[in-house]
Amino acid sequence: MSKTVKGLIVTRLIVVLAILLVPISVFFIFSLVDFQLWYSNDPVLNFWIIKVLCPTIFSVSWLFFLILFANRFANTMDSFDDKISVVPSRLKFFYGINAVYILFIFVFPLITPFISILSFASFAWRLTTFRKEGWEDDSQTSLFTKIVMVIASLIPIFCTVSIIPEFLELPLFLWNNIWLEIIEYLFVISYSLFTALSIGSLIILFSNSGISEYEQLFADNKQKKSFANVKVLEVFLFGFFLFLDLYNFPIIDLIYTAGLVIVIFTYIVNMIRGKSKYGSFKSYFVGYFIAAVFIGSNVILTNTEVSSFLRTWSLLISAILYIFILFYTFITIED
């Protein structure tokens, strides 16, 4: 069932934001990175191809792709938790934020050329077969349609070939110039968010007599209102913890430690009380474990190298896990 905020369907709102922001991010990348044509040093040609043609083609491709699969993307997010139960609801936003980092830096740049080629070919097919409702098993694609699809695909192929040597190095550039520059801030944001969500989960744990994963209950309106209040508290705590960490208040380490203890306690109680009440209760062991390793590597380990290794890889694994589940749901979900 779709979640709503003041009448707005959240998943639809996210899709609309993606339709607006993804094409903008393409232009941002091409303005940030100094791509050069491998076959010409002409500055005018470089400008029109690198700064104008390529970002325009790639942006239009993403725009077409996102609009074409808008309902599928929204349905994917709606049924995300039903497809595979790994990420607990209370930590879904924590995992989602980490996934956004990885998608933007690594996945998004590499798949853009492929999305562009597929989008232009698909657009050409739809333009020349507009009388058909879909890809019918008993229909034959005409030679004219195939030729138009190939011609349309040549445009993004040309853009890709023009920048392919340097485009393959884009993840490395983003790693060195963005990821390494902001990684400490990402850790701080993730720690603060994790701890705030843990405290909110503890509050809901007690309010539900031992079950903090409230989406597994049939809550009445009064309970739903209390959950909304908890979400407001989580937002406030997140901002407060973020302030304490950014300004190096020593007490923040104690708060993070408390957050780790809370999430372990919450998981154990959830598992014991949940299974006693609901035979199919979801334990979310993997999701909790990765999140606990991430926060624990910061507050427990004194070895800097081991701590840095664990928190970096737990962050990456949490993002990869989320992305994998998202792609799996997108591919397998029925329209």
User: Distance (Å, rounded) from C-alpha 87 to C-alpha 85?
Assistant: 6
What confidence category does residue 131 fall into, taking pLDDT thresholds of 50, 70 and 90?
A: low
- Of 196, 200, 227, 204, which is closest to residue 274 (Cα–Cα)? 204
Q: Is 80 exceeded by the pLDDT of residue 41?
A: yes
Query: Is 190 a member of any domain?
Result: yes
User: What is the residue whose two structure tokens read 């705030």?
Assistant: 196
Least confident segment among 15-29, 88-102, 165-179, 245-259: 88-102
Please answer whether residues 240 and 116 qualify as being in contact, where contact means their C-beta atoms are separated by less than 8 angstroms. Answer: no
Instruction: Give the per-residue pLDDT at 31.
Output: 86
User: What is the residue whose two structure tokens read 């010409």?
Assistant: 40
Q: Is 60 exceeded by the pLDDT of residue 26?
A: yes
Instruction: Give the per-residue pLDDT at 216.
Output: 47
User: Distance (Å, rounded) from C-alpha 284 to C-alpha 196?
Assistant: 19
User: Distance (Å, rounded) from C-alpha 312 to C-alpha 190?
Assistant: 11
Q: Is 90 exceeded by the pLDDT of residue 265?
A: no
What confidence category does residue 288 fall into, taking pLDDT thresholds of 50, 70 and 90?
A: low
Least confident segment among 89-93, 187-191, 265-269, 324-328: 89-93
- Measure Cα distances from 249 to 163, 182, 203, 214, 246 in Å: 46, 20, 25, 33, 8
Bridge partner residues of 8 (DSSP)? 5
Query: Is 54 a member of any domain?
Result: no
User: Distance (Å, rounded) from C-alpha 290 to C-alpha 296?
Assistant: 10
Query: Is 63 a member of any domain?
Result: no
Query: Is 215 a member of any domain?
Result: yes
Instruction: Give the per-residue pLDDT at 214.
Output: 43
pTM value is: 0.73
Instruction: Give the per-residue pLDDT at 80.
Output: 66
Instruction: Give the per-residue pLDDT at 74.
Output: 84
Residues spanned by the domain of 235: 173-332
Give me the number of domains the chain comprises: 1
Query: Is 207 a member of any domain?
Result: yes
- Of 247, 271, 260, 241, which is closest to residue 301 (Cα–Cα)? 260
Structure tokens at 310: 């664990």
* Mean pLDDT confidence for 280-295: 62
Report CA Rg, the chain.
23
Instruction: Give the per-residue pLDDT at 60.
Output: 95
Q: Is 50 exceeded by the pLDDT of residue 220?
A: no
Mean pLDDT, the chain, rounded, equals: 78
Structure tokens at 274: 């949940």
User: Distance (Å, rounded) from C-alpha 164 to C-alpha 169?
Assistant: 9
Residue 252 CA, distance from chain mean position: 27
Query: Is 147 a member of any domain?
Result: no
Sign, CA torsion 239/244/246/251: negative
Amino acid code (one letter) for 141: T
User: Distance (Å, rounded) from C-alpha 330 to C-alpha 328?
Assistant: 5
What confidence category does residue 218 fall into, taking pLDDT thresholds of 50, 70 and 90?
A: very low
Query: Is 305 a member of any domain?
Result: yes
Which of 123-127, 201-205, 233-237, 292-296 is the most confident on average? 233-237
Q: Is 80 exceeded by the pLDDT of residue 283?
A: no
To the nearest 10 degrees (0 to 180), the angle between helices 70-78 and 10-32 is 120
pLDDT exceeding 90 applies to what percent of the chain?
21
Query: Is 294 a member of any domain?
Result: yes
User: Distance (Å, rounded) from C-alpha 172 to C-alpha 170?
Assistant: 5
